[in-house]
Structure 1
Amino acid sequence: MGKNKLKITPLADRVLVEPAEAETKTASGIIIPDNAKEKPQRGVVVAVGKGKKDEPMTVKEGDTVLYGKYAGTEITIDGKEYLIMRESDIFAIL
């Protein structure tokens, strides 16, 4: 887990994601209300589990990923918000 400075190691197929800030205005400067912010969500993988016996992990630390609005469980480490989710909750790697 090279760069992972956090004292947490996800188990099996779980991934720790640092959510990116939601876009609050468009490129043309239009303010987006909270309930209409871009979905799905985006974030950066900061730690990955070892995978399951027959399912190796696809994502790795540093990957920017898209995941569902309600995916994962929020956790706070050293005052910072993260999400822990199964790899299957991730839609895509950007």
Structure 2
Amino acid sequence: MAKRLIPTFNRVLVEKIIPPSKTTAGILLPEKSSKLNSGKVVAVGPGMRDKVGNLIPVGVNEGDTVLLPDYGGTQVKLADKEYHLYMDDDILGTLHD
């Protein structure tokens, strides 16, 4: 049975997108050629409560592609896959085509 992690509060579980290291023709790409620290949101927490008790929802949704900071987050390994757990306010933005 595979485990599923559901983040608490305003945390977001992200699977980082690893850019390809070579093209389909076999040409090796430099490490910094298309380095964009991005990931796909796998799960989100319910949000945080303000001082009055109102729920402030997380700003991203499952399936969103997000821009991540260079450092931070907590590495989590589930079923041989690597994920990262970020606070909602650590995510820099969402990426759209």
TM-score, normalisation: structure 1: 0.77
1:69 & 1:25 partners in 2: Cα distance? 22
Asked whether the 8 Å contact 1:22–1:37 carries over to 2, the reply is: no
* Partner-residue secondary structure (3-state), 1:10: coil
1:43-89 deviation digits (Å, cap 9, x = unpaired): 00000000001322110100000011112111100000000010111
Displacement of 1:37: 5.8
Across the aligned residues of Structure 1 and Structure 2, the Cα RMSD in angstroms comes to: 2.2
Number of residue equivalences: 86
Name 2:15's counterpart in structure 1: 18
Name 1:87's counterpart in structure 2: 88
Name 1:42's counterpart in structure 2: 38
1:24 & 1:88 partners in 2: Cα distance? 30
2:71 & 2:22 partners in 1: Cα distance? 22
Q: Which runs of 5+ in 1 are unaligned?
A: none
Name 1:66's counterpart in structure 2: 67
2:41 & 2:30 partners in 1: Cα distance? 26
What residue identity is the alignment partner of 1:11?
Answer: T
* Partner-residue secondary structure (3-state), 1:81: strand
Percentage of identical aligned residues: 40
Q: Which of the pair has more CA radius of gyration?
A: 2
Displacement of 1:24: 3.6
Name 2:5's counterpart in structure 1: 8
Q: Give the stretch that moved more between structures: 40-49 or 16-25.
A: 16-25
